Amino acid sequence: MTKLLEWLFAVSLVGVAWGLVTFDLLDFQFPAVYREVAWPMPVYLLVVFGCYSLATVGYRVATFNDCEEAARELQGQIQEAKEDLKKKGLKI
């Protein structure tokens, strides 16, 4: 099953569950409060997911390591390499 199908499957499951409660498709006679909670649920979920995404990406951007030390080490090694290669007879 491709990822696309997995997603479609999951989304339709949620959709069916939502439809069942909100419109009482199978005539379960749910109390009215069920429907009130259920009908805005997709929007809630989207908002929650959006907030989660923004927070996660924001946090990860803020904590993305800056490898100053690695850059400095590399600069030093570049100098060392250039001198050594010159000695070994490399002509650029």
Report the alpha-carbon distance of residue 32 to residue 21 in Å, rounded. Answer: 10
Sequence-distant contacts of 65-74: CB under 8 A, at least 24 apart: none
Q: How far is the CB of 25 from another protein (least distance, A)?
A: 30
Query: Taking CB under 8 A as the rule, does residue 3 contact another protein?
Result: yes
Query: Taking CB under 8 A as the rule, does residue 12 contact another protein?
Result: no
Report the alpha-carbon distance of residue 63 to residue 70 in Å, rounded. Answer: 17
Q: Judged by CB under 8 A, which of 32, 33, 43, 92 binds another protein?
A: 92
Report the alpha-carbon distance of residue 19 to residue 14 in Å, rounded. Answer: 9
- Interface positions, 47-66, toward another protein (CB under 8 A): 53, 56-57, 60-61, 64-66
Query: Taking CB under 8 A as the rule, does residue 28 contact another protein?
Result: no
Report the alpha-carbon distance of residue 33 to residue 63 in Å, rounded. Answer: 43
**Where on the chain is the footprint of another protein (CB under 8 A)?**
2-4, 7, 53, 56-57, 60-61, 64-68, 70-71, 74, 77-78, 81-82, 84-85, 88-92
